[in-house]
């Protein structure tokens, strides 16, 4: 049996509820067993591994079955239970645990009927796509024994307590204090979306913050209130409304496994995507001018201008948080000072935090800065007053209806690039590193609109991102692009129709 259909980038993901579930107890056990055998093939022996989960309803069963498979493979398993993805990564470097690897059972922001597995090793951190292929191939080949391996074990361990202690230490370090309640005077609303992050409210309260209005803190894998997704408009609107209602200074929201976050300011304004990257960049550039900030490819022209005006360098790279992080690490190794890798989805990784994309580390940094600015009688969010935002923006997803969707996608991108060579209104962006990004000059302006067409990281889809500083610019761009693409087979252009009326 092949398991390649479970692959999603560097993770395993699939339906986990119902009779047709691709992820069931038997599959989870096989995943655990194959992971240990794969680790052994890489020279690991006497393997100690940890496993945790988010709040989704299939999580506990998936965790227990996977742990059983790892024990049959001969591993000593620490079962963390409810945890966060960043904590699972961080645990690999905890000196007293001696872990070789860890697994997080999560499907991030996806619906409650889905689940998945994220894999980490002490040497590699997040595993690569190639490594996941090897694990999936191992799943196909292994025969799982009936009995547990001798000397293997499963032990319950509360790692969230350790993780909270580390976050509390970060707060005191950032605020340069050793008092018990360093966050006194700050009102923070936490929205955990019924994911794994509800404990963060208790941590902030213990540190002195006022947390009235915090909501959806109880883990509930059905996600009854809104999707745990910092990009979801309903989720962001819910947080915005409660922050305004209770008069908080700042609100924070996490996805289900807490590797992503977004915030709202005291007026309820949503600070996510380009705004969030701009805010974090300004905080870092205020301390260290000249740094480079790596982002994904769909960030705005206004963000590039903003970072440049603050004395920094904006470096766009490929979509996908691991791509962004790995490129930032590579730039640092080449001698370029790059302390931040950040994707518009809310994944933020700091060099000072070992480039772990940790939504709670990001939120803790912003909470500390918010208190520092409040004590000075200023607003942290005034830092992004000069960020220019587009008049119009849109993301349109064009489905590819061919088995070899990768080849079709490359043909589409090549066609757009060819058209740009003789269309005087189009110019390929100089920092084009994924798909094709085209700058346009509309209504007599200069580079006042752009679009990016690229292949999706996971799906047979061509996402099309468009921004315009001119009203009606998106319609003009879509009409031009439609003319270029309409002759290419196997590309569904029906999603462009609303912009062609």
Q: At a CB cut-off of 8 Å and minimum separation 6, what does 383 contact?
A: 278, 279, 282, 283, 286
CA–CA dist 455, 457 (Å, integer): 6
Query: How many Cα neighbours within 13 Å face the side chain of 68?
Result: 16
Tell me the average pLDDT of the chain.
Answer: 95
Tell me the pLDDT band of 442, cut-offs 50, 70 and 90.
very high
Most distant CA pair in the chain, distance: 75
C-alpha 367: how far from chain center: 20
E strands, 207-304, are 250-254, 261-265, 270-271, 292-295
Q: Give yes or no for a contact between 203 and 195, defined as CB atoms under 8 angstroms apart.
A: no
* pLDDT value of residue 497: 94
Q: What architecture is the 392-499 domain classified under in CATH?
A: 2-Layer Sandwich (3.30)
Ranking 191-205, 352-366, 447-461 by mean pLDDT, the lowest is 447-461
CA–CA dist 117, 394 (Å, integer): 31
* pLDDT value of residue 263: 97
* Percent of the chain clearing pLDDT 90 (strictly above): 91
Fold: same for 4-157 and 392-499: no
* pLDDT value of residue 210: 98
* pLDDT value of residue 175: 98
Tell me the pLDDT band of 148, cut-offs 50, 70 and 90.
confident
Stretch 171-195: mean pLDDT, rounded? Answer: 97
Q: What are the tens digits of pLDDT across the range 225-261?
A: 999 999 999 999 999 999 999 999 999 999 999 999 9
pTM of the model: 0.94
Supply the angle between the helices 159-174 and 199-206 in degrees, to the nearest 10: 40
Q: Give yes or no for a contact between 306 and 287, defined as CB atoms under 8 angstroms apart.
A: no
Q: What is the CATH number of domain 4-157?
A: 3.40.120.10
Counting Cβ atoms within 10 Å, is residue 80 exposed (0-12), middle (13-18) or buried (19+)?
A: buried
* pLDDT value of residue 1: 73
DSSP β-bridge partners for residue 437: 452
**Domain 163-384: which topology?**
Alpha-D-Glucose-1,6-Bisphosphate; Chain A, domain 3 (3.40.120)
Task: Determine the 3-state secondary structure of 482 from DSSP.
Answer: helix
Element (H, E) at 76: strand 76-82
* pLDDT value of residue 487: 87
Element (H, E) at 468: strand 461-468
Ranking 68-82, 155-169, 287-301, 452-466 by mean pLDDT, the lowest is 452-466
Task: Determine the 3-state secondary structure of 184 from DSSP.
Answer: coil
Q: Give yes or no for a contact between 54 and 106, defined as CB atoms under 8 angstroms apart.
A: yes
- Whether pLDDT at 22 is above 80: yes
Say if strands 114-121 and 11-15 run parallel, antiparallel, or are unpaired.
antiparallel
Domain residue limits, the chain? 4-157, 163-384, 392-499
Query: Residue-wise over 321-335: b if at least 16 C-beta within 10 A, else e?
Result: bbbbbbbbbebbeee
Torsion angles phi and psi, residue 40, rounded to 5: -60, -40
H helices of 247-378, in order, are: 273-287, 301-309, 321-333, 359-375
CA–CA dist 14, 116 (Å, integer): 6
Q: What are the tens digits of pLDDT across the range 356-410?
A: 999 999 999 999 999 999 999 999 999 999 999 999 999 999 999 998 999 999 9
With tokens 């994707």, the residue in question is 343
Provide the token pair at 333: 């190794």
* pLDDT value of residue 325: 95
* pLDDT value of residue 299: 95
The closest alpha carbon to 122, from 13, 10, 47, belongs to 47
* pLDDT value of residue 457: 75
Q: What are the tens digits of pLDDT across the range 280-325?
A: 999 999 999 999 999 999 999 999 999 999 999 999 999 988 899 9
| Cα torsion angle, 126, 128, 131, 132, sign | positive
* pLDDT value of residue 425: 87
* pLDDT value of residue 49: 98
């Amino acid at each position: 049996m092949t398991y390649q259909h479970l692959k999603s980038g560097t993770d395993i993901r699939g339906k986990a509820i119902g009779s047709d579930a691709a992820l069931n107890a038997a599959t989870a056990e096989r995943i655990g067993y194959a992971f240990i055998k794969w680790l052994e093939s890489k020279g690991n022996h006497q393997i100690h591994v940890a496993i945790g989960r988010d709040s989704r309803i299939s999580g506990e069963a998936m965790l227990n079955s996977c742990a059983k498979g790892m024990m049959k493979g001969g591993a000593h398993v620490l079962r963390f239970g409810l945890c966060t993805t960043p904590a699972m990564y961080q645990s690999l470097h905890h000196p007293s645990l001696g872990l070789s690897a860890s697994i997080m059972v999560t499907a991030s922001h996806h619906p409650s009927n889905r689940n998945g597995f994220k894999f980490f090793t002490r040497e590699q951190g997040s595993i690569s796509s190639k490594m996941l292929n090897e694990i999936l191939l191992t799943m196909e080949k292994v025969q799982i024994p009936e009995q547990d391996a001798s000397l293997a074990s499963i032990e319950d361990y509360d790692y969230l307590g350790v993780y909270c202690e580390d976050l509390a230490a970060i707060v005191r370090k950032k605020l340069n204090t050793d008092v018990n309640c360093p966050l006194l005077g700050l009102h923070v609303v936490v929205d955990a979306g019924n994911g794994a992050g509800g404990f963060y409210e208790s941590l902030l309260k213990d540190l002195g913050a006022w947390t009235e209005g915090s909501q959806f803190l109880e883990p509930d894998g059905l996600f009854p209130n809104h999707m745990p997704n910092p990009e979801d408009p309903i989720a962001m609107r819910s947080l915005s409304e409660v922050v305004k209602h209770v008069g908080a200074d700042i609100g924070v929201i996490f996805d289900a496994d807490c590797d992503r976050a977004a915030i709202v300011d005291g007026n309820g304004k949503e600070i996510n995507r380009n705004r969030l990257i701009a805010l974090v960049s300004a905080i870092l550039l205020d301390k260290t001018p000249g740094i480079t900030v790596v982002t994904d490819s769909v960030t705005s022209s206004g963000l590039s201008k903003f970072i440049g005006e603050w004395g920094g360098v904006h470096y766009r790279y490929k979509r996908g948080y691991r791509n962004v992080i790995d490129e930032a690490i590579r730039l640092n190794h080449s001698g370029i000072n790059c302390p931040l890798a950040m994707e518009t989805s809310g994944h933020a990784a700091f060099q000072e935090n070992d480039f772990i994309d940790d939504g709670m580390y990001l939120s803790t940094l912003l909470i500390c800065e918010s208190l520092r600015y409040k004590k000075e009688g200023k607003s942290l969010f005034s830092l992004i007053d000069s960020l220019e935002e587009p008049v119009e923006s849109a993301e349109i997803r064009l489905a590819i209806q061919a088995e070899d969707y990768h080849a079709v996608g490359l043909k589409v991108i090549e066609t757009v690039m060819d058209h740009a060579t003789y269309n005087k209104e189009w110019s390929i962006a100089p920092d084009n590193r994924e798909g094709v990004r085209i700058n346009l000059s509309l209504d007599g302006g200069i580079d006042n609109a752009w679009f990016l067409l690229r292949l999706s990281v996971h799906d047979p889809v061509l996402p099309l991102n468009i921004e315009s500083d001119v009203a009606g610019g998106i319609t003009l761009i879509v009409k031009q692009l439609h003319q270029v693409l309409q002759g290419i087979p196997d590309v569904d252009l029906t999603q462009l129709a609303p912009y062609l009326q």
